[in-house]
Amino acid sequence: MKEKIISVKNISKQYQQEQASGIHNISFDIHKGDIIAIIGESGSGKSTLLKCIYGLLTLDEGEVFYQDEKVWGPDVLLIPGHKQMKMVTQDFSLNIYAKVYDNIASMMANTDVHHKHQKTMEMMAHLHIDHLKDKKITQLSGGEQQRVAIAKALVTDTSVLLLDEPFSQVDALLKNQLRADIKRIAAETGVTVIMVSHDPADGLFLADELLMMKDGHLIERGKPADIYQQPKHIYTARMLGNAVVLNQEEANKLGLEVKDGHAVFYPEWVELNNSWNSRRFEVKDVYYKGFYEELLLERHGVKIRAIQLNRGVHKKNDHVQANIGRFLSL
Ligand code: ADP
Ligand code: MG
């Protein structure tokens, strides 16, 4: 069993002006070395939760612990947060006129200049930014700035790294690289990572655990694969896999038996083949997705989506046999 590093116990935080804001009665533990992804739509309380863990906000209720030490908020501490936690926000908070090297080195005291130099060089190598050592921050791309910000956060004795929307500034290519970097750095340094994103693609494949936030509530948590395959909420299925959601009437029209609630399935659960329980659908549209296509199918006025891996096999206005191989009643 992995060691517990953060405990969040029944925390609530409501912003004064608005009634429906903030987070409500949230509890969970985080284990050392894990990567945690907090996922949820905009306004669901992700940043608030992150700030509460870090000690930036005064809690209405509940407590946060770093190992066995309570994390105090700004009402108690002048400089909030535990010294072994570091947060990288979307604005990076870098000294834009200083060089990369100095931005990172400035985090450490001058008591041991050799150590300071050593650590700075080591961290730049870790983040693959050693070649940018003498550049000013203003000369860097968004992705490079982000690496500097992470290096800066990790160069001191950091055990928990908090990242708020870490990939929001970078293009798709760099996103993949940064994702892989974060995973590698976590594995190499043993740092625990808590990251927040509204884009589940950021978290799904990176995280050891996903926390789903909705309207300030933690609605479910689990391993990415488990929560994707077996979501408890329509919201989760929609966020994670752009699921098709049919109401009871629609589901019945396709022969799906749903007692109450909805039939929920991902497009890749729809099999385009002619089996005993396949039904005839019309292809209403074809969406190009790169190495595959998504088909918009319709039967008796009910629209669903399916994945077509071999492009061009079925075209608009074709009729296809499709079978919803698996669905969830939610
Ligand atoms: P997310 O990061 O998931 O987009 P936030 O944690 O920033 O969500 O916000 C959660 C809710 O709290 C939203 O409804 C937001 O409008 C509200 N909120 C956030 N910060 C403040 C604030 N400083 N004052 C008042 N309401 C806020
Ligand atoms: Mg936010």
Residue 34 shares a structural domain with residue 152: yes
Is residue 19 lining ligand 1, measured as CB closer than 6 Å? Answer: no
pTM listed for this prediction: 0.92
Tell me how far the alpha carbon of residue 99 lies from the centroid of ligand 1, in angstroms: 34
Ligand nearest to the CA of 40: 1
CATH code of the domain covering residue 191: 3.40.50.300
Q: Can you say how many angstroms the Cα of residue 88 is from the centroid of all Cα atoms in its chain?
A: 15
Q: Which of 193, 211, 239 is the last residue of a domain?
A: 239
What's the total number of domains in the chain? Answer: 2
Residue 233 shares a structural domain with residue 246: no
User: In the numeric block, which tokens belong to residue 74?
Assistant: 């700004």
Residue 323 shares a structural domain with residue 196: no
Give the C-alpha separation, 246 to 54, whole Å.
Answer: 40
Tell me how far the alpha carbon of residue 276 lies from the centroid of ligand 1, in angstroms: 50
Q: What is the pLDDT of residue 172?
A: 78
Residue 89 has pLDDT above 90, yes or no: no
Element (H, E) at 65: strand 61-66
Residue 163 shares a structural domain with residue 312: no
Give the C-alpha separation, 188 to 191, whole Å.
Answer: 8
Residue 61 shares a structural domain with residue 174: yes
Mean pLDDT of 147-152: 92
- Strand bridging mode 263-265 / 244-246: antiparallel
Q: What is the pLDDT of residue 195?
A: 94
Residue 146 shares a structural domain with residue 125: yes
Is residue 16 lining ligand 1, measured as CB closer than 6 Å? Answer: no
Residue 44: Cβ within 10 Å count:
24
Residue 22: Cβ within 10 Å count:
19
Residue 90 shares a structural domain with residue 208: yes
Residue 40 shares a structural domain with residue 87: yes
Domain carrying residue 285: 242-329
Q: What is the pLDDT of residue 166?
A: 83
Ligand nearest to the CA of 14: 1
Q: Which of 218, 239, 260 is the last residue of a domain?
A: 239
Residue 79 has pLDDT above 90, yes or no: no
Q: What is the pLDDT of residue 50?
A: 97
Bridge partners (DSSP) listed for residue 213? 40, 218
Contact (CB, 8 A) for 37 and 203:
yes
**Lowest mean pLDDT segment, chosen from 16-30, 237-251, 298-312:** 16-30
Ligand nearest to the CA of 44: 1
Residue 135 shares a structural domain with residue 259: no
- pLDDT tens readout for residues 156-197: 989 999 999 888 777 777 788 888 888 888 898 899 999 998
Residue 290 shares a structural domain with residue 157: no
Residue 188 shares a structural domain with residue 56: yes
Closest residue by Cα to residue 218 from 40, 15, 14: 40
Q: What is the pLDDT of residue 158?
A: 93
18 pLDDT band, cuts 50/70/90, is low
Give the C-alpha separation, 130 to 120, whole Å.
Answer: 9
DSSP 8-state class, residue 322: E
CATH code of the domain covering residue 293: 2.40.50.140
Residue 124 shares a structural domain with residue 47: yes
- pLDDT tens readout for residues 39-66: 999 999 999 999 999 999 999 999 999 9
Tell me how far the alpha carbon of residue 20 lies from the centroid of ligand 1, in angstroms: 9
Contact (CB, 8 A) for 87 and 162:
yes
Tell me how far the alpha carbon of residue 314 lies from the centroid of ligand 1, in angstroms: 45
82 pLDDT band, cuts 50/70/90, is confident
- pLDDT tens readout for residues 205-257: 789 999 999 999 999 999 999 999 999 999 999 999 999 999 999 999 999 99
Is residue 197 lining ligand 1, measured as CB closer than 6 Å? Answer: no
Mean pLDDT for the chain? 92
Q: What is the pLDDT of residue 171?
A: 78
